[in-house]
Structure 1
């Protein structure tokens, strides 16, 4: 369940919104809530119309028109419903080529069985962990980004597909338990413009259990257990602690027996299944001047992009490249990485600045994202620059650096 202030973070487009799900009261939240752009908490319908122009190394010059709708409301004392959908239309510079893609992110009903028990059903975008660049415990979010309109990790999580599921949540004064059953609907992701793409969000039968216990006022660790069909169980733990009004530390860990991510495209007998750890840890500092700084470290035991690219190169050279596109994510996943972020809300007269730098320590490459956003009432103007590495089986250089500029204008109804 998203808290109402989520819309404030969407309008601000800040990475500090990663903490909204944890409801951690630190300075960045209060600063965001005090701005002129805070959405009325009673509002239950949000609509964004956006137009953007992009110039890049590999994609050339393209245009995009998007319509983003989010609705969430209480139907009565016991029932609540939510719906979230996004349509992206892409056009070439001369408008001779165009395509569109619809992303049904969420559609759910929630029923309050008792004051402490909730029952949810439908397509729901869950989020576990508060790290920005990599969330090892975000078990159900893998491979669910259908349309990447921005390289901002927080926006990618907000715009991804939810999972079809049945969820039961139980709350006590100091503890909470949650059980999610997410059934298999389709085994293959779909690329058609109107597809619900169940193959991306629900490729296997999955059961996810999570529990947390409040040990102290600002210490509420969480444990997770994921059981997937024909897979070994995966374990996870989330930890965060507010050290002061301005400093937050956090850590995530996940572990279990799995193959490397790219090996899932191979026949099952070729998998190298062994125990693999994944971790993310970081610290954030938020000043009274609305400047937030973040430092993170990541280790992804499922990634080995050097071997993955070698396999892809051999497959492409033998004519098998057409079967390798789902092997790894659109961005080449690093095994070890470091991330720095500086976000400055209202740096001057309703301008926000967001800079993210990430270092792939396995391949010695840098990734980056920078955005300047200007708020003019219901209008947002944004200029973005990004550098990522994208996969291409049609080139000898499989991991190509892609630098892009994007200028966008959005109107919030």
Structure 2
């Protein structure tokens, strides 16, 4: 509690954190295009998606996001998602209150937000070690698109403040404990998934010499070790960006065993944007909380199931190293048509995950199709994942 009171005093000062991912990417001068569906200035954004796994019935979801200015300096944000799925083994509908918060901006450089917020941190596309809120929970299956997983998770009830200055920003996030366990009831706000313990985060961004940009993070909470982190990006020429991020803390491994020791999470990446509006990204991901290769290969039965569940709850890969490749081509073949492709290759068990899609983007409506498939031996990271088709539409108003 003394640490929490100290952070509350900091929050009363104009010491905010970087805002949403789009602002963070701009601040760090990344030469890329968003992996998720395009952002819009429209106050109302909706999405309808249908998904079909090979051998399973269709299911889908409808979501809506409202971002409205109430009056000068005041803004309200509400985001909700309703999933429809077959009744076998679960309810027919599951609702997720993703965000609901009020924002006050007393000046162009200051902002204070309170409510359920989904903060997004880091500079990489496929995995973000600086995203300490990634375990807030997904109440239903999301797309393999990493940005979709970040956008569709539950937000965390918190107080967030930020202060922008010439060349960077500083800030603080404070989240109280509201419930000790997750609530799977279809219409529950599920405070236990997002706010099961007190947590806090201090963060700053700094513009270095030339095109170098850095983020610095320190996070902690009740019963948690301190977690420092850093991210950096550097623009090489007009089209190429190198970037990386890393964090570390004293933890047990994902299996809950082993000594509590420093375990690191890291990403190294390279991005390139061609004059044809083709954007390419290649990343190497490292998860120091995962089991060693021999221990992962030896998992069987209930121990395997418990380990995969722990990795899923922590929103981490069950193995230590992966390659991530992503391509997006704006105006592919004709204006408004967007083609995407993604590959995840697990270096530990040689399993792979492929995804490709095509989207037509208009001013007020987007229509698209996506297909994804996992390949590998049964029990590997991506093995046993059948072909999945997704049809989706987005509207902006």
Secondary structure of the residue aligned to 1:80 is strand
5+ unaligned residues in a row in structure 1: which ranges? 7-17, 264-269, 391-395
Asked if residue 282 in structure 1 is aligned to residue 269 in structure 2, the reply is yes
Per-residue CA deviations over 1:319-339 (Å, capped at 9, x if unaligned) read xx6x76742217853211111
Q: Distance in 2 between matches of 1:411 and 1:226?
A: 35
Quick one: structure 1 residues 325 and 143, their matched pair in 2 at CA, closer, same or farther if it must change by over 3 Å?
A: farther
**Residue 2 to residue 69, structure 1, CA distance change in 2 (3 Å):** farther
Offset of residue 381 of structure 1: 3.6
- 5 Å matches for 1:360-375? 360-375=346-361
Partner Cα distance (2:196, 2:385) in 1: 29
Q: In the alignment, is residue 357 of structure 1 matched against residue 343 of structure 2?
A: yes
CA contact (8 A) 1:166 1:180 kept: yes
User: After the TM superposition, which of the residue ranges 215-224 and 381-390 deviates more from structure 2?
Assistant: 381-390
Matched, 1:69 2:64: yes
Greater Cα shift, 161-170 or 192-201: 192-201
- Per-residue displacement from partner, 1:137-179 (whole Å, max 9, x unpaired)? 1011125222223111111111111111011212222332111
Following the alignment from structure 2 to structure 1, what is the Cα–Cα distance between the partners of residues 380 and 348? 16
**Of 237, 240, 244, the match for 1:244:** 237
* TM-score between both structures, scaled by the size of structure 2: 0.83
Structure 2 residue 151 is the aligned partner of structure 1 residue 164: no
Moved more, 298-307 or 372-381: 372-381
Distance 1:386-1:241 versus aligned 2 partners, 3 A rule: same
Which of 216, 237, 261 is equivalent to 2:209? 216
Count of aligned residue pairs for this structure pair: 371
Q: Deviations over 1:206-252 (max 9, x none)?
A: 11001122223532311100112112101100111222221111110
Deviation per residue, 1:244-295 (Å, 9 max, x gap): 22111111010121111231xxxxxx55210111110101101111111111
Structure 2 counterpart of 1:410: 393
Asked if 2 retains the 8 angstrom alpha-carbon contact of 1:179 and 1:210, the reply is yes
CA RMSD of aligned residues (A): 3.1
CA contact (8 A) 1:313 1:398 kept: no
> TM-score normalized by structure 1?
0.80
Matches within 5 A, 1:114-129: 114-129=107-122
Please, which runs of 5 or more residues in structure 2 have no aligned partner?
A: 1-16
Partner of 1:382: 368
1:348 match: secondary structure: coil
